[in-house]
Amino acid sequence: MDRSILERLNRPRNTATRTATENATELRRSVLRNLANLLNTRTGSAPAQMDLGMPAPSEITHSTPNAVNLMLRNLRACIEKYEPRLRDVEITHVDSSEEVLSLRFQVTARIANRDGVTVSFDTVVNPGGHVKVQT
C-alpha cells in the first residue's frame, strides 16, 4: 500500500502484476499528500464522514487562550484516525519568532510497514487557515 485509496482510485496502475515490494519514497510522498489533503479538509465538509478533517484553525485560535494545545489534540486525533499508515505519532509545537501569526508543529511517526521507517515533517498553519505539510 504505497498509495492512499483515493490515489489508487484516481490513478489506477496499468500493470497486471502485483508485487510485494514497497517503494519507501513513494509511500512517504503518498502519506504526506494524504495528510496535506486531510488537514486542509474542514470538519463537517464530508457528508459521509462528518468528523473527517480539522476544525477551521481560525475558530480554534480565536476561541481559546489554550489554542496550541487544542490544535495539538486535533492534529493527533485526525492523523491517528485517518492516516492508518502512521504509528506512534508524536507532535510538538515549535515556537517561531519569525512567524508570529502562524502555528508550527513538528510531527514524527513510524510508517506502519515491515521496515517501520520513522518520518518527520513540519505542519504550518498560516493565518488564513491553510495547513502546509513539508519535510
**Beta bridge partners of residue 134, listed in sequence order:** 122
Percent of the chain whose predicted confidence (pLDDT) is above 70: 84
* pLDDT of 20 strictly over 60: no
Q: Using an 8 Å Cβ cutoff, are 36 and 13 in contact?
A: no
What is the Cα–Cα distance from 115 to 134, expressed in whole angstroms?
22
Which of 35-44, 58-67, 119-128 has the lowest average pLDDT?
Answer: 58-67
Q: How confident is residue 22, by pLDDT bands cut at 50, 70 and 90?
A: low
Mean pLDDT rounded to a whole number for the chain: 82
Instruction: Give pLDDT, residue 92.
Output: 94
Instruction: Give pLDDT, residue 5.
Output: 78
Q: Using an 8 Å Cβ cutoff, are 43 and 79 in contact?
A: no
User: The C-alpha cell of 121 is what?
Assistant: 515533517
The pTM of the full predicted model, rounded to 2 decimals, is: 0.74
**Beta bridge partners of residue 103, listed in sequence order:** 125
Which fold is adopted by the domain 23-134? Answer: Nuclear Transport Factor 2; Chain: A, (3.10.450)
Secondary structure element (H or E) that encloses residue 38, with its range: helix 24-39
